[in-house]
């Protein structure tokens, strides 16, 4: 099969007034465009469309419109890439997770120590656990004199990253 069989419909749609935009034409001809892309590169497709329609499509524009059509096609058919979200317990890095991605529910931090950190961390357990995990002392946190939890979180991030 030649390029003409795959791209004739797209060229007709681009020249007609039945579609609202060029992207809509690409969306309707996604499968044919995929086949054409496999047998010819973007430069050949660009040249073909220029000859048939008089419209100039740069390779980058073709690729972008194809990527948008692909995303829309996957969204409509439900074939989009699965997103894997793995929850980790606060205070443990993802490297400590076991091979199955599950976490043990044991705590590495004593309740008393956590309470002390929470007091200086504006009652924010997440920041307290980050401080404990990062090895930041309570005295160091107090010396920053942060006015709120947001600034404390930023200071903690900077301190740990420069450590």
Q: Which residues contact 47 (CB under 8 A, 6 or more apart)?
A: none
pTM of the model: 0.46
Q: What is the pLDDT along the chain (163 residues), one digit of tens a residue?
A: 578 888 999 999 999 888 889 999 999 999 999 999 888 888 999 999 999 999 998 989 999 999 999 988 888 876 544 444 444 445 544 444 444 443 433 356 788 899 999 999 999 999 999 999 999 999 999 999 999 999 999 999 999 999 7
3-state secondary structure of 6: helix
Torsion of Cα atoms, 95 then 98 then 104 then 110, to 10° = -30
């Amino acid at each position: 099969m030649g390029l003409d069989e795959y791209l004739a419909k797209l060229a007709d749609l681009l020249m007609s007034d039945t579609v609202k935009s060029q992207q809509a034409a690409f969306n309707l001809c996604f499968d044919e465009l995929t086949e054409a892309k496999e047998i010819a590169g973007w430069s050949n497709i660009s040249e073909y469309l220029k000859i048939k329609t008089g419209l100039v499509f740069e390779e980058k524009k073709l690729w972008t419109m194809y990527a948008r059509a692909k995303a829309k096609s996957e969204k409509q058919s439900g074939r989009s890439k699965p997103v894997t979200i793995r929850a980790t317990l606060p205070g443990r890095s993802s490297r400590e997770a076991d091979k199955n991605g599950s976490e043990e529910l044991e705590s590495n931090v004593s309740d008393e120590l956590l309470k002390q950190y929470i007091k200086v961390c504006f009652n924010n357990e997440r920041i307290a656990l980050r401080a404990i995990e990062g090895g930041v002392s309570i005295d160091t946190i107090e010396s920053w004199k942060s006015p709120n939890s947001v600034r404390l979180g930023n200071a903690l991030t900077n301190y740990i990253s420069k450590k």
